[in-house]
Amino acid sequence: MPAPMPGYQTKQQQIAVAGVDDLAMRSLLDRQQYADPLGEAARQGISPAAWPLFGQLWPSGTRLAELLAARPVRVGERILEVGCGLALASLVGHRRGADITASDCHPLVEGFLGENLRLNAMAPMKYRHGPWSVDAPRPSGRPATGGVRVVRGRFDLIIGSDLLYERDDSAALAGFIGRHAASGAEVWIVDPDRGNRPAFNRSMATLGFRLHEERLDRPATIDVAAYKGRLLTYRSSEVLQ
């Protein structure tokens, strides 16, 4: 498993998620960190401004982890986290014994995931390269047969947080979900009220997914910051291609 490359600074925090033991998390020091000496992120279309976003712990990611921690682990259920970044929700699910796969397209995500598994004395877990577009380039320009482990198969629960941060005119995210959702699958997206939500809802409806929205707002307390956002839950009896 690749280790994080040099060229940036990191920090370590203890993250509390109700329902599981606190997690030690290695993340980027701040949003000014950047290092892409091999041009791998650039080949994925990740700009210098967007490069450090994967390495931050975002409030919506914490809310997603809390929701997964409160959900009973179901025997035989396959879970996929999309655009996982630091994969807090995946780590929570893995610690609880769920069959969960983390996925992202950033070339450093797998290395950070391995480090955070090590920090928490957890067994290895599944990680797959998961670009949303079907024609997205693979790391280092390698072809599909070049050893890159990409997301394959279908999943019973697909989860993600703060994924609707930019326009998606090609409906790549909805298409990716549709290709990997099992019949009757459930999809959870925790969204901090992004403006691109209506377009994504329409794309999901086209694929046969029904939407239920739930507010996740909570006020600030001494220990927890305020949060405004919602859980978008999509369900489908059949998945259209």
Backbone angles phi, psi at 13, to 5 degrees: -130, 155
For the full predicted model, state whether its pTM sits above 0.85: yes
**Token representation of residue 2:** 């690749």
Distance from chain centroid for Cα 116: 15
pLDDT at 148: 79
Give the mean pLDDT per block of 10 residues along the chain (241 residues): 67 94 96 91 90 96 97 97 98 98 96 97 97 72 60 97 93 97 96 96 96 96 91 78 45
What strand order describes the sheet that includes 78-81? 126-129, 99-104, 78-81, 155-161, 181-191, 230-235, 210-215
Q: What pLDDT score does 158 carry?
A: 98
The per-residue pLDDT for 136 is 60
Taking the alpha carbons at both ends of the chain, their separation in whole angstroms is: 33
Strand partners, 211: 234
**Six-digit token pair at 36?**
């892409």
The fold for domain 10-235 equals Rossmann fold (3.40.50)
- Give the H or E element holding residue 110: helix 109-119
- Helices 88-95 and 109-119 cross at an angle (nearest 10°) of 40
Among the listed residues 85, 92, 103, 86, the one whose alpha carbon sits nearest the alpha carbon of residue 70: 92
pLDDT at 222: 87
- Please spell the DSSP secondary structure of 116-137, one letter per residue: HHHHTTPPP-EEEE--SSTTPP
pLDDT at 140: 57
Domain parsing of the chain, residue ranges = 10-235
Provide the residue type at 56 as one letter: Q
CA dihedral (96, 99, 104, 105) positive or negative: positive
